[in-house]
Amino acid sequence: MSDLKEHSCEACSPDAPKATDEEKQQLHKDVPDWEIRVVEGEEQLHRLFKLKNFAKALEFTNKVGDLAEAEDHHPVIVLEYGKVAVSWWSHEIGGLHKNDFVLAARTDAAFNDMQ
């Protein structure tokens, strides 16, 4: 993993440009375990994390929540026994922005810290 998690997030307004195909391709290299999905016409980064039990999954969910609150950028998080699914995208622009890749990298780091 590169230092993508160390990058600053930019304030994202409705007129901010979505990541270009070239930018997405480059940024995706730093978070290869994330899938780019199209949901209701919007691209999203999605990853399923597997943990030992519900308590660990909840702990991880709270760490992702803390990341989201720190940047005022909120993913979809689905918590199950031993699993957490996270989807990042920029709601304001209806697709992917560099911020989503940065937060995916930070999510990976939070997960790795729990291992």
Specify the pLDDT at position 53. Answer: 98
* 10, pLDDT greater than 90: no
Give how far the C-alpha of residue 65 lies from the chain's centroid of Cα atoms, to the nearest Å. Answer: 11
> What structural domains and CATH numbers belong to the chain?
39-115 (3.30.1360.20)
Give the C-alpha separation, 30 to 34, whole Å: 9
pLDDT mean across residues, the chain? 95
Say if strands 76-80 and 83-88 run parallel, antiparallel, or are unpaired.
Answer: antiparallel
Q: What is the mean pLDDT of residues 34-49?
A: 98
**Span 70-91, mean pLDDT?**
97
Residue 114 in this model has a pLDDT that exceeds 60: yes
